[in-house]
Amino acid sequence: MISLAANSQNRVTITNAGYNGNNVLDLLARLDKDVLAKKPQLVVLMIGTNDMLNLRNMLTVEEYKKNYQKLISLIKKHAKLMLMTIPPINVEYLNQRVDPKHYAPGGPQARVDSANAVVKELAIKNKCHLIDLNRILLACGGSTDDIGSLFQNVPNFNVNDGVHPVANGYRVIGTAVYQAISNTYPDVTNIVCFGDSITFGYKMHGEGTITGDPYPAVLSRMFNQ
């Protein structure tokens, strides 16, 4: 993983601690090294897409919830914490790539909805600020097969992805996170963005860093322009 913090001239230090393919268990395994060692004042956490959809890392909803709670408890001992729901998906693309039987009984959308219900429940239980990213991105059109979609698809990226954002999608995410932090924790100066490939910036310019397109890069520019 490439994890690049802001330079000393920046007012707010941002770390991109995303990693492709991770689920909540992977985040628990690298929490100390990739997050707590940075001594953040605030952690912005988004995890669940692989837990629900990636056959190599898929968990039951119960396993996801149990380990997500462990992650929250560990982080909150050291830093403030914001949670994000996971983004919308293009169900048609998912069903083209993966036999739908693997997402039985409800299909991939039901698994995404279940993950987001868990995130909302745990945000309330643990008194964490919640950014309902799924709702925000759905309001901006969601994940479709239109060329103007905020997610990688055949017309705009030549892939039947439907899960990972394009640059405009990351601008929406970065703006939502910036507004939430500015309104809730305006004085923080050391922030770690923790998650999977969606935080990492899969296939985007500057993936894994705070330059280019990933949402941590958008966030860094907004805070330090």
Q: Which residue, among 204, 225, 202, has the nearest Cα to 14 in the 3D structure? A: 225
pLDDT at position 101 is 93
pLDDT at position 58 is 97
> pLDDT tens digits, the chain, 225 residues: what are they?
333 343 446 799 999 999 999 999 999 999 999 999 999 999 999 999 999 999 999 999 999 999 999 999 999 999 999 999 999 999 999 999 999 999 999 999 999 999 999 999 999 999 999 999 999 999 999 999 999 999 999 999 999 999 999 999 999 999 999 999 999 999 999 999 999 999 999 999 999 999 999 999 999 999 998
B/e letters for 141-174, b = 16+ CB within 10 Å, e = fewer, are ebbbeeeebbbbbeebbeeebbbbbbbebbbbbb
Question: Where do the domains of the chain lie?
Answer: 13-224
Handedness of CA 172, 42, 54, 134 (dihedral sign): negative
pLDDT at position 3 is 38
pLDDT at position 9 is 64
DSSP string, 121-187: HHHHHTT-EEE-HHHHHHHTT-S-SSTT-SB--HHHHSS---SSB-HHHHHHHHHHHHHHHHHH-TT
Q: What is the rounded distance in angstroms from the CA atom of residue 194 to the CA atom of residue 216?
A: 10
pLDDT at position 6 is 38
Q: What is the rounded distance in angstroms from the CA atom of residue 78 to the CA atom of residue 41?
A: 8
Q: Hey, which CATH number is domain 13-224, 1.10.1040.10, 3.40.50.1110, 3.40.50.1100, 1.10.3720.10?
A: 3.40.50.1110
